[in-house]
Chains A and B, each alone.
Chain A
Amino acid sequence: MRSVRPRTTGVRPRATGVRPRVGTRLQSEPVRFWFDGREYTGQRGDTAASALLAQGVRLLGRSVKYRRPRGLLAAGPEEPNALLTEGTPPTVIPNVPAPQLILRDGLVLRSQNRWPSLRYDLASLLQAGGGFFGAGFYYKTFIWPSWRSYENIIRKLAGLGAAPGAANLMPPSIEHLSCDVLIGGAGPAGLAAALAAARAGARVVICEREPAVGGELEFEGATIDGQGAAHWIGAVKAELAQRGSRLLMDTAIVGGSDGLVIAHREPGGLAGCNTVYRIRPHRFVIAMGAVERPIAFVDNDRPGVMLLGAAERLLARYGVVAGERPLLFGNHDRLYAAAARLGAAGIQVRATVDSRPEAAAASGGAAAAARAELSRAGVECLFGHAVVAAEGGIVLRGARVAPLVSPASIRRFDCDAILVSGGWSPAVHAGLHEQGARRYTDDAAAFVADRQPEWRLTAGAASGLLDLAGVMADGFAAGDRAARACGATGSAGRPPVASGDGNPRLIPFWRSPASLNQEKRQFVDFQNDVTVADLRQALAEGFIDIEHIKRYTTLGVGTEQGRTGSILGAAIVAELRGLSLARVGASRTRPPYHPVTLAALAGHRVGAKLRPVRRTPLHHWHAANGGVPESSEYWMRTRFYRANGADAFSAGIAEAARVRAHGGILDASTLGKIEVVGRDAAKYLDRLYLAKASTIKVGRGKYMVNLREDGMVLDDGIVLRIDEDRYLATTGSGHAEHMLSHFEYYRDTEWSGANVALINVTEAWSVIVAAGPASRGVLQTVLGKPWYTGLDRLSHMAFVDGRWQERELRVLRASFSGELAFELHCRSDIALPLLQALADAGLPPYGLEALDILRLEKGYLAGSELNGQTTPLDLGMDGLLKLANPCVGRTLLDRPALHEPLRPRLVGLRAVDRKASIQGGAQITAANSPSQSLGHVTAGVYSPTLGEWIALALVARSFAAEGTLLVARDPLRGGDTRVRVTAPVHFDPAGERMKS
C-alpha cells in the first residue's frame, strides 16, 4: 500500500504508541482506523480530525471548484474542508466533517473530491485557470452546442462525496417530549440557564450537540464560583440530574415549526443509531454560542491555517498540537490568553499579529498580563499588523506579515501553523424563523438576535455577549425568566460568578490588504472557493444585494451552511460597497439549523411502512387461496386468483367467464358505507344526491349519484333506506372518508340545524358479493331454510335483514356484474365462515380484474369514468337530470359550456375488425384529423362473453352517435385501432339476467 506520509519541514509528527495523549475527551485505549487506504491508530474519544492531525496528516481534502489542497479549519460542524467518506462502497456515508466523526475500531475513511489521490489530484490543474473560473463563469459559456454536452463532466467534477449506494440505516427512535423550558446549548450560557430554570422548579430539557457539555469552558481555564470550570460543570450536571432535568448529548436542534422543536441525536457523528426528539416546550432558550470567523488573506486556505479556537479545542480535548510553532492572527484580546495557554502546553508561539492599534488592547487585567508574559518569553506581539499571505502549498512554511499603514513592507515569519480568529458570529439561526430577526451590533461586531416570538429567548452570545461573566449572568437571567413564564415559582438563587477570558474588545477586521490580482486567492467561503475577487466581480456585475451575491457566487451554500463564510462575505461586501454591515445585512439563513439526515425525517415510515395497509377480514383467505393482491388507496384487494391463470389478463377472463356461466364470490368489504340517521335524513339526502332519496321505499335501494359543487360527478353508489329516518349510503372504495367529510360539511354549514347523524360504518360491515346464475341457489343452501322464501321473493334493488349463525346479516339484491347477484353485509366475525361456506357450496372467488370485465360489459361506471371531469350528462344520466332535483352542484351544471357539442359523452366502442385490442388511455380521433382529440378510452378489456375487445370511452357529443367510425390512437403502446361507436351497454341491455 502506498505511503501517504506528507513531506514536512521542521515538524515532527507526534510519535504514536509511545505515550497516549491526554485530553478532556480522550481515553488511553487505542482505536484502529483506515484513512485513504492506510491504517492509523487513535485513542478512544478521538475524532478523525484529531487522530489524523496527531499522526501528522495535515492534508485532509480538496475544495470543490479549484481542488485546492485543504486541511482542518474548524473543530465543529462548521468545518468546510475536511469532509470524509465513511464506509466501503456501496454502503458509504459521504461528507462527514472530520472533527465530528468519533472514531470506532475498524472505521474505513476516505478523503473526497480528488483523483487519483489526495496528494496528486489531476483536476487541481484547474487552479491555473484562476480568473477564468471566477464566480458564475458557467453562466457565460457552455452555451454552444448545448449545456448537455458539458453537463456530464461537470456533474462528475461537482459534488463532494460519493453517492451512497445502499443505506443500512436503522430508523431512528422517536421520542416525544414536552417540558417547560428547552435550552439549546450546554455551554456556559446554557448551563447557567438550566440551573436557574431547574432551581425555580421548571421541567428542563437541554440539548447539546457535542458529546460533552461546557462549550468554551472546556479549554478556557475559567473560574466559576471559586472552582475550576471542570469542577463546576460536574457539580451542575449532578444538580440538574438530581432536579430531574434531562440532558441530551450529541443532540442538535435541527428545526421544527411554530412551537414544535425537532432535535436529532447522533452519537458518534455518523448517521445511524439515532433518536429524533419532538419537543413542545413552553419556552425555548437559544444558548448555542458563537462560531469563530476566519479572516481573508492571500492563501488563507492552506493546510495549517486554522481557526484559533479549533487549535485550542484540539489541544484541550485531544492533546493534539496543531502546530509546534504557530503564528496567531486576530483582532481581539483573546489572542493573548490563547497564546499563553498554548505556550503553557509547550508550544512555541512565533508571534501574535493583532490588526488593532495597541491602544485598543486592554491595558490591565488578564489579557495584559498574558501579553506581558509573552513578551518575557520572547514572543513578538505586533499591533496594527495583519498576515497578508500564507506561504507554502500542502505544507505551510511561513506567514507574510505587514503593517496596515504600509502593506508593502512585508516581514516573513517561519511557522507551521497560522491560527486565525476574526471574532465570532453568534449562532442565532434557530431564532430567525417565525418572525424572529437579527440585527448587527457594533459592540460585538456581529449579528445578534433581535425580536423573538414570545416563546423564544436568547442567551449569551446570541444576545451579543462575549465575555464569560456576562454570558453566564445573561444565561442565568434567561433561564429564570423562562421558568417564571411557565409558572415556576421556586427561587433560582444567586447566579454563578465567573471569570475567564474577559471582554475581547474586538475591532472588526475582515480581510488583509491585497492587490486586485491577489484577491482571487483570498478565500471567504472555503468549500465553494468563493474569494474576495468573486465578491468584487459580483458587485460589478450588478449583484449588489447580499441575497443576489449569495446566489451568484454560491457563498454559504455548502455543507457548513455558511457558518464561517456568510457573514465574513457580507462584511467584505459592505467594505467593497463602502456601507455598514448593518445596512448590507447578511443573507437569509434557512433551516435546518444543523444538517439533518433524510432518515431522521423519514422516521419509521420506511420501506413497507411508508403508509399503513388496510386489509379486509377476508385477507388471509384470499392469500391462502392463491389471491394476488393489489394496492388500492390504503387497501389491499385481490386482483385475481392464481388457479385461474398465469397473469391478471388470462385469469381475469377466466374468472369473468365463469361468473356469467355459473357464479362466483367477491370480497367487496372495502365498499364505503355511511349511515345517515335522523329526523331530517331524507330531506338532507335529497339535497346531496342528484335524484331524491326521500322517494326510496323502506327495504329498497337505489343507484344514486352525488355532484361536486361545480356540477361534476363526485361519487356514485347504492343508497338503502333501512327505515323512515335511516339510510345507508354506499360510496366508492376508498372514498368513504372524503364523502363523509362532504356530507358533514353540508350538514354543519349550509344546513346546520339539520337533525342528521352521520356515521362511517365502512369497517363495521364486511361485504361479500355472490353473483351468477347459481348464486341464489347456493345462497339458499348456505343461509338455510329461514332464508329460502325471502331470497326467492327478493326483487332487484331490495334488501332484507336477518340473521345467520345468530349474527346480523343483510342481503341486498344488487349487481355490478350484470348477473343475478346478492351483496351480503355482515359483521366481520362471520365474514370468513360465510365466505368459506359459499366457496364450499360451489361459488369460486373472482377478483377485481374479472369485476372490471363484467362491469364494462354492462357499461357500468367506475373510477375511470368518474374522474372528476365528467358531468352526469356526459355520463348519460339524462334521466336523473330531468328530475331537476335542486341538489348541491345542480345550478352550475346548467352552465352553457357543459352542454356544448365538444363536451364528452359516454359511449361503448368495438374494434371494426372485431379482433384488435382497445386499451384504456387511448385517445380517440376522427380518421381524417389525426391530431385533434375527440376524447379517450376510459377502460378497455377483452370480453369473454362477446369474444372480442370492448371498451368504454368518453367521446365528443357530436361524434358520439352509434355507428360512428373513429380511431383509437395509442402511439405509446403500439398503434391505432379503427373503432365503431356503440351503446355503452355491450351485453344484455335490458338487464334481464340480473333481474331474473
Chain B
Amino acid sequence: MSSLACPFCGPRELDEFLFHKTLPEAQGDEYAVYERANRIDDSLEHWQHVRGCRAWLRVRRNPSTGEVREVQLLGRGHS
C-alpha cells in the first residue's frame, strides 16, 4: 500500500496522508483513548489527507498485507 484513494482527490501517494489511530473494538467511554483493536488481518483506522484536501477518512485495511479494503469520508453528511 503506497497510495491511498482519497474520495475527493483520487489515488494519492501515501506520504500525503497522516495516520492518526486504529479504532478500539467498541466505542466506549473516554478511556477508550487508550484502547485499540488488534486484529492481525483487519484494521479500522482514521487517517487525514493532510497534504491535500484535509479530509478525515476511515480506512479499512489488512495490516498483514497492506491491502486497502475501503476508504470512507468522515465529516458532515457522512458518518
Contact = CB atoms under 8 A, between A and B. Distances in A.
A414 interface: no
B33 to A, nearest CB: 4
Nearest to B33: A709
Nearest to A893: B30
Contacts of A435: 65
A892 B2 contact: no
A745 B3 contact: no
A257 B18 CA distance: 18
A258 interface: yes
Contacts of B31: 892
A258 B1 contact: yes
Contacts of B79: 752
Contacts of A749: 46, 56, 74-75
Nearest to B3: A259
Contacts of B34: 710
Contact of A892 (B18, B30, B76): B30
Interface in A742-769: 744-745, 747-749, 752-755
Interface residues of A, number: 23
B54 interface: yes
Contacts of A748: 55-56, 74-76
Contacts of B20: 741, 745
A380 interface: no
Contacts, number: 55
Contacts of B74: 748-749, 752
Contacts of A891: 29-30
Contacts of A686: none
A525 to B, nearest CB: 33
B2 A260 contact: yes
Contact of B30 (A709, A752, A754): A709
A258 B67 CA distance: 9
A892 B1 CA distance: 36
Interface string B12-54: 0000001010000000011101100000000000101010001
Interface in A691-719: 709-710
Nearest to A754: B76
Contacts of B29: 891
Contacts of B30: 709, 891-892
Interface residues of B, number: 24
B11 to A, nearest CB: 9
B64 to A, nearest CB: 10
A752 B78 contact: yes
Nearest to B57: A748
Contacts of A747: 75-76
Interface string A774-812: 000000000000000000000000000000000000000
A745 B54 contact: no
A736 to B, nearest CB: 12
Contacts of B48: 741, 744-745
Nearest to A741: B48
A259 B29 CA distance: 40
**Residue among B2, B31, B77, B78 having the largest count of chain A Cβ atoms under 10 Å:** B2
B54 A892 contact: no
A892 B3 contact: no
A259 B75 contact: no
B1 A745 contact: no
A373 interface: no
A741 B76 contact: no
A737 interface: yes
B7 interface: no
Contacts of B66: 258, 434
A259 B13 CA distance: 11
A891 B2 CA distance: 38
Contacts of A745: 20, 46, 48, 56
Contacts of B2: 256-260
Contacts of A752: 74-79
A891 B76 CA distance: 26
A754 B79 CA distance: 12
Contacts of B33: 709-710, 892
B56 to A, nearest CB: 4
Nearest to B66: A258
A744 B56 contact: yes
B69 to A, nearest CB: 15
A296 to B, nearest CB: 39
B50 A741 contact: yes
B46 to A, nearest CB: 7
Contacts of A256: 2
A667 B41 CA distance: 51
Interface string A717-743: 000000000000000000001001100
Nearest to B50: A741
B55 to A, nearest CB: 8
Nearest to B30: A891
B3 A753 contact: no
B57 to A, nearest CB: 9
Nearest to A260: B2
Interface in A869-892: 891-892
B23 to A, nearest CB: 10
B43 to A, nearest CB: 16
A710 B78 CA distance: 27
A748 B54 CA distance: 11
A737 B50 contact: yes
A709 B20 CA distance: 13
Contacts of A892: 30-31, 33
A593 to B, nearest CB: 16
A355 B32 CA distance: 68
Residue with the highest number of chain B CB atoms closer than 10 Å, among A257, A435, A749: A749
B8 to A, nearest CB: 13
A258 B2 CA distance: 5
Interface string A143-184: 000000000000000000000000000000000000000000
> Which of A258, A260, A710, A748 counts the most chain B CB atoms within 10 A?
A748
A744 B3 contact: no
A258 B3 contact: yes
Contact of A741 (B3, B18, B65): B18
B9 to A, nearest CB: 16
A744 B56 CA distance: 8
Contacts of A257: 2
A747 B76 CA distance: 8
A740 B20 CA distance: 13
Nearest to B27: A750
Nearest to B68: A258
Interface in A248-278: 256-260
B4 to A, nearest CB: 11
A891 B74 CA distance: 25
A744 B76 contact: no
Contacts of B54: 740-741, 744
A744 B1 CA distance: 25
A483 B29 CA distance: 53
A256 B3 CA distance: 12
A257 B50 CA distance: 21
Interface string A573-601: 00000000000000000000000000000
B26 to A, nearest CB: 15
Contacts of A753: 76
Contacts of B18: 741
30 contacts: A258-B1, A258-B2, A258-B66, A259-B2, A260-B2, A260-B3, A434-B66, A435-B65, A741-B20, A741-B48, A741-B50, A741-B54, A744-B48, A744-B56, A745-B46, A745-B48, A745-B56, A747-B75, A747-B76, A748-B75, A748-B76, A749-B56, A752-B76, A752-B77, A753-B76, A891-B29, A891-B30, A892-B30, A892-B31, A892-B33
Interface of B: 1-3, 18, 20, 29-31, 33-34, 46, 48, 50, 54-56, 65-66, 74-79
Given A709-B30, A745-B20, A748-B75, 9 more contacts: A258-B1, A709-B33, A710-B34, A741-B18, A744-B54, A747-B76, A748-B76, A749-B74, A752-B74
Rank and list the top 5 A-B pairs by shortest CB-CB distance, nearest first. A748-B75, A258-B2, A748-B56, A891-B30, A709-B33
